[in-house]
Amino acid sequence: MASMRPHDHRHRTGDALVVAAQATLVKRGEQWTAMRAAVFDALTGFDQPASAYAVTDVVSTALGRRIAANSIYRILDLFVASNVALRVESRNAYLANAHPECQHDCIFLVCDVCGRATHIDDDGVAATVRATATQAGFKALRPVIEVRGKCATCVRIV
């Protein structure tokens, strides 16, 4: 199946990722508040996409006081709009974007066994999907490409 090789930017992790996220937000004229930092920290602390309420719990614990879910939603929405976080539509869940500085139509491989999601950027596949939409007279704004199945680890185990 001919598709461009995914380009090989590094997927950032840890502090470097936080710095990148902050920079991305600031570049958009948004603030990097303690609250937002806490939400982003919470996101990076999960090993799989987290629901807004799971994030709420973690942030509440981290800050030592109860945070309302809608505050978290606001921030998650901002993050998604700013490409700092991503939303897995088929799971109603969020994760930190490992490279907020570049824009992709990303693809999620979501394991139905362990719940983990692998985020890959294959611009070739995305372009194919977009082109198909265009052929149908449709103006593609945001492709949602998620593959439900089993990850390499879980295929062996289950």
C-alpha to C-alpha distances, 126 to 10, 28, 129, 142, nearest whole angstrom? 20, 25, 5, 10
> β-strand 117-120 against 93-96: which pairing, if any?
unpaired
The reply to whether 122 sits near a copy of itself by the rule CB under 8 A is yes
Interface stretch with a copy of itself, choices 28-36, 47-55, 70-78, 141-149 (CB under 8 A): 141-149
Site for DNA (CB under 7 A): how many residues?
A: 23
Among 6, 23, 74, 146, binds DNA (CB under 7 A): 74
The reply to whether 23 sits near DNA by the rule CB under 7 A is no
The reply to whether 151 sits near a copy of itself by the rule CB under 8 A is yes
Q: Which among 119, 117, 115 is positioned nearest to 99, based on CA atoms?
A: 119
Site for a copy of itself (CB under 8 A): how many residues?
A: 39
Q: Reduce the DSSP state of residue 120 to 3 states and report it.
A: strand
> β-strand 117-120 against 85-88: which pairing, if any?
unpaired
Task: State the residues that interact with a copy of itself by CB under 8 A.
Answer: 1-3, 89-90, 107, 109, 111-112, 118, 120, 122, 124-125, 127-133, 136-152, 155
